[in-house]
């Protein structure tokens, strides 16, 4: 545990017999290799933390408590999942999709808010209040950031943490009427022209936005539906509708996932689609690459078939006769030039 918590570690490298964990911090670079049995334990712990989060209070559940916990939260997370996004108020676009680790204006992450609901009222806003002791946040509100852990300062020159976590987030250090930064989203609009949306599955489908195709027991998934959900709307390839079935980047739960092992179902329960193998995925991208090359060749051939416009005909040049030269054997003198 001490090795995994030192600095920022890079993704896991899986193999058939071992798992290699490499992380890099400044000039520190280490590599830890564990056995196959330990690899299964690491996988089980990562899955446990993604499902339970901080609900165990820092003490790991026993196997019986863990199974009872999954049975209790499964109906809420499958049938009453909340989709949280951040986008312009006047347009049907999601500039940011909120996930478990996305921070709120109060400083706590989305998974630290109340995301599991036994009953979700239709047609009414759902309260996603913060569960941390001493925090007065009554509704999750996404705040954009330039870079780093700190949110941009307000136009009153004070930091976001100097403002109240309750809307309209008035400043505690001055007479500022509410937090308003100079951040401008990649969509071209200012941050104060956006809003945080908390929607049910039916509400999100009514807007034509993607929803999860497979059930998931992971905590506080929010608006994440596939791997492309981690980028903003401008660079996201699919911004509306459910992702195509032949897209290898589409998020699909494996047949041995936690939802399958828990034996839960519901309105979202569907046959599990097997994930593409590495060879099939390479073939998929190679096919797309060859199609793009063919389209480029067709466009070039079509441009060559178009005959260029005929140039306007020029008037023929007028011939100018050269003056006759006198012959060396001629006895006639040339005519004098006119004065």
pLDDT digits 0-9 by tens, 28-44: 556 778 888 888 888 99
Q: Which of 152, 154, 150, 171 has its CA nearest to residue 162? A: 171
How do strand 96-97 and strand 19-25 relate by DSSP bridges? unpaired
Segment 101-107 shows an average pLDDT of: 92
What does the pLDDT read at residue 280?
76
pLDDT of residue 170: 93
Work out the percent of the chain whose per-residue pLDDT is above 90: 35
Q: Phi first, then psi: what are they for 77, rounded to 5°?
A: -80, -20
Q: Which two tokens stand for residue 301?
A: 């051939």
CA distances 224 to 117, 214, 228, 310, Å, are: 18, 12, 8, 57
Q: Comparing 253 with 97, which gets the higher pLDDT?
A: 97
Q: What is the pLDDT of residue 200?
A: 92
Kindly report, residue by residue over 172-223, the tens digit of the pLDDT.
Answer: 999 898 999 988 888 888 999 999 999 999 999 998 888 988 888 999 999 9
Mean pLDDT value of segment 283-289:
82
| Neighbouring C-beta atoms of residue 150, cutoff 10 Å | 11
- pLDDT mean across residues, the chain: 76
Contact 131, 119 (CB under 8 A): no
Q: CA torsion, points 247, 251, 257, 262, in degrees to nearest 10?
A: -120
**169 — alpha (psi -120 to 50), left (phi > 0) or beta?**
left
């Amino acid at each position: 545990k001490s090795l995994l918590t030192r600095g920022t570690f890079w993704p896991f490298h899986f193999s058939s017999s071992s798992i290699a964990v490499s992380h890099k911090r400044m000039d520190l670079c280490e590599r830890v290799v564990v056995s196959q049995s330990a690899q299964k334990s690491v996988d089980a712990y990562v899955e446990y933390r993604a499902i339970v989060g901080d609900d165990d209070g820092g003490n790991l559940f026993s196997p019986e408590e863990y199974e009872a916990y999954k049975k209790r939260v499964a109906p809420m997370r499958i049938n009453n999942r909340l989709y949280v996004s951040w986008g312009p108020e006047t347009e049907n676009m999601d500039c940011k999709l909120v996930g478990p680790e996305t921070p709120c204006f109060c400083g706590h992450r989305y998974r630290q808010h109340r995301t599991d609901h036994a009953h979700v009222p239709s047609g009414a806003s759902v309260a996603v209040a913060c569960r941390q002791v001493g925090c007065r946040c009554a509704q999750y509100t996404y705040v954009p950031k330039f870079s780093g852990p700190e949110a941009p300062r307000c136009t009153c020159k004070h930091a976001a943490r100097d403002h109240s976590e309750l809307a309209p987030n008035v400043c505690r250090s001055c007479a500022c009427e509410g937090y308003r930064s100079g951040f401008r989203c990649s969509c071209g609009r200012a941050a104060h022209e956006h809003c945080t949306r908390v929607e049910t599955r039916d509400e999100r489908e009514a807007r034509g936005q993607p929803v999860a195709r497979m059930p998931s027991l992971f905590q506080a998934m929010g608006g994440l539906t596939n791997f492309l959900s981690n980028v903003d709307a401008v660079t996201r390839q699919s911004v509306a509708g459910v992702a195509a079935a032949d897209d290898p980047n589409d998020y699909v739960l494996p047949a041995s996932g936690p939802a399958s092992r828990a034996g839960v179902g519901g309105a979202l329960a569907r046959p599990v689609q097997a994930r593409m193998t590495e060879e099939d995925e390479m073939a998929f991208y190679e096919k797309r690459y060859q199609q793009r090359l063919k389209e480029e060749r067709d466009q070039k051939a079509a441009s060559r078939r178009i005959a260029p416009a005929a140039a306007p005909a020029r008037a023929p040049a007028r011939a100018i006769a050269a003056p006759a030269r006198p012959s060396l054997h001629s006895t006639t003198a040339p005519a004098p030039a006119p004065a």
